[in-house]
Chains A and B, each alone.
Chain A
Amino acid sequence: MRRGDSQPLGVLLAALLGASACYQGDSANADGSAGTTTAAATGDDPGTTAPTTTASDSDGDEPDAPQTVPGPTLRRLTASEFAHAMQDLLGPVDLGTVEADSLQDGFFAVGAARVALSPAGVAKYEQAIGDATAQAFADPARVAQILRCVPTQLADTACMRDALATFGRRAWRRPLTGVELERYLGVAAAVGTETGDVVVGLRHAVWALLQAPHFLYRVELGLPSPDDDGRLRFTSYEMASRLAFTLWNTLPDEALLDAAEADLLVDGPGVGEQAARMLADPRARQGVHNFIAELYGLWALGEKVKDDTLFPQWTPTLKAVMRDELLARVEDVVFDQPADFFSLYDGQKVFVNNELAAVYGLDPVEPDVFRAAMLPEGSPRRGLIGSALVLAMNSLPARTSATERGQFIAESLLCRTVPPPPPNVDTNLDDPDVEDPGPQTLREKLEPHRADPSCSGCHNITDPLGLALEHFDTIGRWRDTDQGLTIDASGELDGKYFADGGELALLLREHPVVANCLVRKLYTYAGGRLPLPRETDTIAEVEDELALAGNRFDKLLLALVTHDDFRFAHPAGTVVGEDIEGDKP
């Protein structure tokens, strides 16, 4: 797992900088502090760029320290974006592996904006794209779908030009310049001449277009906008790209590119119109899937092992259906009902096949289909934290982990930072001074350590929340007892008592931080970086829109992509203070 340093009981006894260093309050610093080492300016030396404003404060309050704002950055397509884009362009193809995404600040989307591709990664792209184009171009019918015009001879330059211009616009999310088009026509002509086959020539031109940085990276740099206080405004084509990757996790379609060509994406209403259309498109589900997969770290499910002597039920098919279920819950709330997003946090509607139904204690049906079901009335299993996926993902191979489960709640739902464990602390829970303590519940095992001041600061963030889920075993099944002992699942969340995990779920849904946390996570994902302190207002504005819309996630997406901070950037190295006139519209 790569979500923080979450090795379960290593964290358990951890207090990195002593109790005082650990977050314990309600005004979470969210995940902002976690990326301070790399969230600094990403552009030119500030000294070389004229500041947009100078820090001053006319109302007499203590002026905020000036902040250097990062400029827009290249973002390499994530593996998911790359795969979807290739399928959109070429149709179904077997894609070879490309260099793995890098997880930073909890998101591949952030790693994609920071980490350089290795030399071996360049070779992987060349091979994967070469193989994919070879597959796609082997079928003449497919070629006719990929290219708007398929020439029959090299002399048909108008057709070749049309084919590459339209393909290039789609792949690069903008029209090719004349020089660029000539460059790729040159490739097609040279290879076509050498092989005597114009389509082979075009395939090589496509291979080249798809290796170009304009395809492999999101080149969204903005242009200076004199009417907007020197900020950079993303062009209509760049906005098309931003919308498509954020909402669909893939390339813009022709309609979106046409809107860009008509320069309709330079204001909020224009963006809003396209975004509303896109959210009604089935590809929006693909986009939400990807956000959820990154947010909850679903990629890690594949490598999650369970002790197969104790949990033979832990099969690849069970893992797959757990993932499907989580995504089905999200789709149901976001698209099918649609309903308050936070109903996910305490809802009792589940989606199962018979294998997963057994985990939830539900009856099998014949024929066995993937289906919606309601948990029995009064069931203590509620919401995301009662889902098999969250319970199993945040457990050890052979036993539960209150720390991992608590860390999931603290970090993913409440945006609280749980520092990594310190060195020189033995992570074994057994008390070496007691020869045979007899069976103990996890709570009993943890109590002495949570009493240790060097551990309690951080573990008081995680453990009380995780212990609420002790009635669910390491693969998510209900259990009455732990090693034959009564389980105490009660606790407190910010001063509010809960008797068990079900009550904790109810508290989480109503918690004042969850909306802000969700917006911060989405902002990080969409922007490829953590929110800056000066963007607190933006987060709050989007959060307000979410509340006004009854916490509908589709409305949240709409509010985000139409916000000025999604449409504008600052030149790299701009120094701004908070609340400065002209800094924000």
Chain B
Amino acid sequence: MSRPLPRRTVLRGMLAGVAVAVPLPRLAAMLDGNGTAWADQTPLLPRYLTWFFGNGADPTQWVPQAVGHGAEWSLSPSLMPLAEFKPWLSVLSGYEVKIPALYAHKSAPAAVLTGAQAAMNGDVTAPSIDQKIAALINKDTAFPSGVHVGISNVTGAGALDFNISFNGPNAPNPPNYSPADLFATLLTLSGAQEPDPSLFRRKNILDVVAEEAKALQHQLGAEDRVRLDRHLEGIAELQTQIDATITAADCGTPIDPDVAYPNRGEDGSISLDRCRAFADLLAFACACELTRVASFVFSCAACHAPYTEAGLGNVTFHEDFGHRLSPMGIDYATGGFHTGVAYAMSGLAELLKRFRDTPDVTGNLLDNAVIYTTSCVGQPWDHRMDDFPLLVAGKAGGLLRGDLHHRAPGDNASKVPFSLLKLFGSPETSFGAAEGLVSETIPELLA
């Protein structure tokens, strides 16, 4: 089975005797006269990413001093690595996670990602914002459930395991930690290589596997049927990618991380080169509309990895700095924590740079993106959930105002993901559950 290819499918050709469609990249010439929609009047779709860093931020360093727009506000110390992207930033401060803090490093990230409480075992109870948006805008791409990458593969004391993207309870989208692996996948989809005739065999095999799975469905209980349905979705998604490979777009060639960043460190280790490698690949995938939705885990909730490259030694950032337990004393620990948060923002800056430098239709990819950045806790040493780190980068194709610090002390943090969901045209009138439930957006965000 196959899914429809992206709408930029315009050329047709023959491969191994089979008619194929050859998609092209987004070109201004394919737009309507105003450059705001495709020629057939379908709207341009912004891209959505969740960017997550573990262990929170210190509000005294994170929150900019002044509120307002443009010259009215300046970046805070933690956000200084993002200085050159200030026109695209919307800092939302004062917001509070209203979900009861039952589980440190679990309740809060679950709330800002799904609007609902975490399950005790570290699972979520509702789908995450990226998956809700994927359902709206990504079904016709090669990765309907999005592309999900991660820098650190060190766990975080239970928390939400490695994951920030959830199709629902017990249905995570674990991150891919290997830029080389993602490069290889994107290369086959880029049109830079001749399609391999064996692709048809793989597709046929997947048909057989799907047939087998469907036959098994009848014997299963309700929850297992849901699990196997998800497996079947995965089979269909893989077949979509094979179709897209056969009919690959001419998007150029993605940057090979082994050539560009040979010293980036092992898969799962933290380095800015690894951030750069994934930034290159995500910018490529989004520009080529191989996906419009992605997630990027710099470090998972309560991540126990060291920030060695930031000069913070080979100790766990979570404990020595997040909880300020360094034997070097509390002042060193506090300073190190601030260094670490700025380091994480340097990782985000690499993504914003690639997006800003990638042309997209009439502007650049950052103009047409929404990058929702958040964490697992407010200030980590006491697991606070007020004044939560919430940052949106990008202008969503002109829908977002940008260059904004909006402060709303005590307001519900769920309003941020709900506002983003509405940007993508969701008909839903509310978001979240229980104390996390909201039905209002943040109008100040909009242009």
Contacts and interface: CB of A to CB of B under 8 A. Distances in A.
Interface of A: 1-10, 14, 16, 34-38, 42-45, 71, 73-74, 97, 99-100, 102-105, 114-123, 126, 130, 180, 183-184, 186-187, 190-191, 194, 204, 207-208, 211-214, 219, 221, 300, 303, 305-310, 396-399, 420-430, 572
B206 A126 contact: yes
A214 B216 contact: yes
Nearest to A432: B330
A102 to B, nearest CB: 6
B176 interface: yes
B70 interface: no
The interface residues of chain B, by DSSP majority, are classed as loop
Given A120-B176, A423-B383, A180 B205 contact: no
Contacts of B382: 423-427
Contacts of B158: 1-6, 420
B99 to A, nearest CB: 11
A105 B161 CA distance: 12
Interface stretch (B19-27, B271-279, B314-322, B403-411): B314-322
B313 interface: yes
Interface string B121-154: 1110000000000000000000111001000011
B228 interface: yes
A119 B205 contact: no
A444 B322 CA distance: 23
A397 B104 contact: no
Contact of B121 (A37, A212, A308, A430): A37
Enumerate the 7 nearest inter-chain pairs by beta-carbon distance, A residue then B residue, closest first. Answer: A122-B234, A43-B221, A423-B101, A119-B234, A397-B315, A116-B230, A423-B383
Contacts of A100: 162, 174
- Chain B CB within 10 A, most for which of A4, A37, A214: A37
Contacts of A186: 208
B238 interface: yes
Nearest to A100: B174
Contacts of B101: 422-424
Nearest to B325: A9
Contacts of B153: 303
B14 interface: no
Contacts of A1: 155, 157-158, 304
B381 A427 contact: yes
A2 B103 CA distance: 13
B366 interface: no
Nearest to B315: A397
B241 A428 contact: no
24 contacts: A1-B157, A1-B304, A5-B103, A5-B106, A7-B105, A10-B104, A35-B120, A74-B228, A104-B122, A116-B171, A117-B227, A118-B234, A122-B238, A126-B206, A184-B208, A187-B204, A204-B201, A204-B205, A213-B213, A219-B219, A305-B314, A305-B315, A396-B319, A422-B104
A42 B104 contact: no
A430 B234 contact: no
Contacts of A6: 157-158
B144 A425 contact: no
Given A38-B119, A44-B222, A119-B233, A187 B208 contact: yes
Nearest to B219: A221
A190 B178 CA distance: 34
A16 B162 contact: no
A427 B323 contact: yes
Contacts of A103: 122, 161
A251 to B, nearest CB: 18
Given A120-B173, A396-B319, 6 more contacts: A5-B158, A7-B323, A38-B123, A119-B233, A119-B234, A396-B325
A424 B384 contact: yes
A2 B316 contact: no
B165 to A, nearest CB: 9
Contact of B102 (A3, A16, A184, A191): A16
Interface string B210-247: 01110010011111101110110111011001000000
B261 to A, nearest CB: 20
Given A115-B172, A307-B315, A213 B323 contact: no
A148 B119 CA distance: 48
The interface residues of chain A, by DSSP majority, are classed as loop
B234 A425 contact: no
A398 B326 contact: yes
Contacts of B325: 8-9, 396, 399, 427-429
A184 B207 CA distance: 12
B205 A428 contact: no
A213 B205 contact: no
A90 to B, nearest CB: 17
B65 interface: no
B248 interface: no
Interface in B299-342: 302, 304-306, 313-316, 318-320, 323-327, 329-330, 333
A113 B327 CA distance: 42
A303 B208 contact: no
A34 B122 CA distance: 11
Nearest to A70: B221
B12 interface: no
A462 to B, nearest CB: 14
B176 A10 contact: no
Contacts of A43: 221-224
A7 B173 CA distance: 24
A123 B314 contact: no
A397 B307 CA distance: 13
- Chain A CB within 10 A, most for which of B157, B333, B382: B157
B263 interface: no
A430 B119 contact: no
B360 to A, nearest CB: 25
Given A305-B316, A397-B320, A427-B323, A102 B161 contact: yes
A102 B123 CA distance: 10
A114 B170 contact: yes
Contacts of A45: 222
B211 A116 contact: no
Contacts of A212: 208-209, 212-213
A428 B330 contact: yes
Interface string B285-308: 000000000000000001011100
A71 B221 contact: yes
B212 A115 contact: no
Nearest to B217: A213
A121 B323 contact: no
B231 A398 contact: no
Contact of B327 (A104, A221, A398): A398
A150 B231 CA distance: 32
A208 B105 contact: no
Contact of A118 (B173, B313, B329): B173
